[in-house]
Amino acid sequence: MARPSEKAMGKDAGVKSPQSYLYGTSRTFCPEGAADGLCSRPQQNMPFEIDSKASHIAFRTALLAALAAIAGTGYMLFEAQWLRLVLRQLEIPGLPAELEGLSMLHASDLHAGAPGLNSRVIGKFVESARSLSPDVVFLTGDLTDKKKDLSPFIESLVSLEARYGKFACLGNHDHGLRKTVIEDLARRLTGRSPIRKSLKEKKTATVSSMRKLLAQAGVRVLENECATVRIGGHKIQFCGIDDFNYGYADLVSVASQLESGAGLRILLSHSPDVIGEIEPGNFQLVLAGHTHGGQICMPNPHSGKIMLSTSGSRYGEGQFQVDGTVMHVSRGVGTTLVPFRLLSRPEITMIKLKRKTA
């Protein structure tokens, strides 16, 4: 069939093709016989064309944002598994010459049983630790998160070997105490977390059973107590306190167990803030964790990075010295709350002691 001509469609009567309107030209569509006032005036810039460009830009922006979010999430999951080994030499005042070179593996915040991929990075920690053959292994709290079947975790600790033993202290998560937003704010304002007495008084059977399981793995939990070992003819005391922030710690009891003739005294504490409460001279070295090194951090051109999860502590990560006492704070191995890390890779630290000379 032949296509109708423009004249047959009413060109002389002012009939214009609807396609002209849709594509934003200056032509208008006016039915045959309509009054002049009912026909719209020609418009060079049609709204349809403007909306189309805006929609395209909005779609492209949303797509780029979604891709960036997916890439960022993927990287943070990757970093949470990217375990690093830190080699650190600590100078200890008054360290006997026979104890120079004593090696100790420090790990913290394993959070076994937490949602996420902690079991995977714990496996990497154990594998690395076995190859290092340290003299002593120290675990500074938050060993578990949710009280699920801990058998795989315990079995992995069995394979860890240390010449003078494996020792641990407890953290808040080991007691089932998890930080809340209010508690974190209170800590940042006052420097101390509020003690939830109802939970503090509840010494659960789960903690007791966990302690027994750790003992089966050869890990001795130091709960406000000290263990004495002999190395090179010298007495060394490894002491541990229960969680400091929630009021389980008993520093008075620990201090009463100290021996003046010990060549080295080391304190294990989940929270690094204990450094401000111990008597100067009681311990030459404190090992702690809890802060996760911020876990998720933001870059800061002035201070390197802003730690988003340090519980208000002044001791985020690394080495410190307060009143003659050396302290090492670990970023930890696992994650909590969210299975992500950013600018704060999980770590284990191989520490070697060196005598500090004047």
Judge contact between 293 and 342, C-beta under 8 A: no
Tell me the CA end-to-end span of the chain in Å, nearest whole number.
107
pLDDT-wise least confident of 166-175, 190-199, 296-305: 190-199
Contacts of 127 (CB under 8 A, 6+ apart): none
Q: Is 146 helix (H, G, I), strand (E, B) or coil?
A: coil
Better-predicted residue by pLDDT, 41 or 149: 149
Most confident among 38-42, 102-106, 157-161 (mean pLDDT) = 102-106
- With 70 as the cut, is the pLDDT of residue 337 above it? yes
Q: For position 31, what pLDDT does the model report?
A: 57
The rounded distance, in Å, linking the Cα atoms of 143 and 325 is 25
**Could you state, in order of their start, the residue ranges of all structural domains in the chain?**
1-44, 82-356
Per-residue pLDDT tens over the stretch 273-325: 999 999 999 999 999 999 999 999 999 888 778 888 765 568 999 999 999 99
- With 50 as the cut, is the pLDDT of residue 17 above it? no
Instruction: Look at residues 266, 264, 242, 245 and name the one whose alpha carbon lies nearest to residue 253.
Output: 242
Backbone CA torsion sign across 179, 180, 186, 188: positive
- What angle do helix axes 205-216 and 151-158 make, rounded to 10 degrees? 30
Q: For position 166, what pLDDT does the model report?
A: 97
As given in the structure block, the two tokens for residue 94 are 């008054």
Per-residue pLDDT tens over the stretch 255-268: 999 998 999 999 99
Give me the CATH code for the 82-356 domain, please: 3.60.21.10
Q: For position 232, what pLDDT does the model report?
A: 85
Better-predicted residue by pLDDT, 23 or 265: 265
The rounded distance, in Å, linking the Cα atoms of 314 and 142 is 20
Per-residue pLDDT tens over the stretch 97-143: 999 999 999 999 999 988 778 999 999 999 999 999 999 999 999 99
In whole numbers, what is the pLDDT of the chain averaged over residues?
83
The amino acid occupying position 59 is F
Q: For position 181, what pLDDT does the model report?
A: 46
Most confident among 13-22, 188-197, 295-304 (mean pLDDT) = 295-304
* Number of helical (H) and strand (E) elements in the chain, helices listed first: 8, 14
pLDDT band at 145 (very low <50, low <70, confident <90, very high): confident
Size of the chain in residues: 358
Q: For position 268, what pLDDT does the model report?
A: 98
How many percent of the chain have pLDDT more than 90?
59
The amino acid occupying position 75 is Y
Q: For position 330, what pLDDT does the model report?
A: 98
As given in the structure block, the two tokens for residue 165 are 């033993």
Q: For position 24, what pLDDT does the model report?
A: 45
The rounded distance, in Å, linking the Cα atoms of 172 and 170 is 7
Q: For position 22, what pLDDT does the model report?
A: 43
Q: For position 251, what pLDDT does the model report?
A: 97
Per-residue pLDDT tens over the stretch 229-244: 999 889 999 999 999 9
pLDDT band at 188 (very low <50, low <70, confident <90, very high): low
Q: For position 3, what pLDDT does the model report?
A: 53
Residue 61: CB atoms within 10 A of its CB come to 10
The rounded distance, in Å, linking the Cα atoms of 318 and 327 is 8
How many percent of the chain have pLDDT more than 70?
75
pLDDT band at 44 (very low <50, low <70, confident <90, very high): low
Q: Taking residues 321-348, what's their average pLDDT?
A: 95
Contacts of 175 (CB under 8 A, 6+ apart): 199, 204, 207, 243, 246, 248
Instruction: Look at residues 244, 280, 224 and name the one whose alpha carbon lies nearest to residue 172.
Output: 244
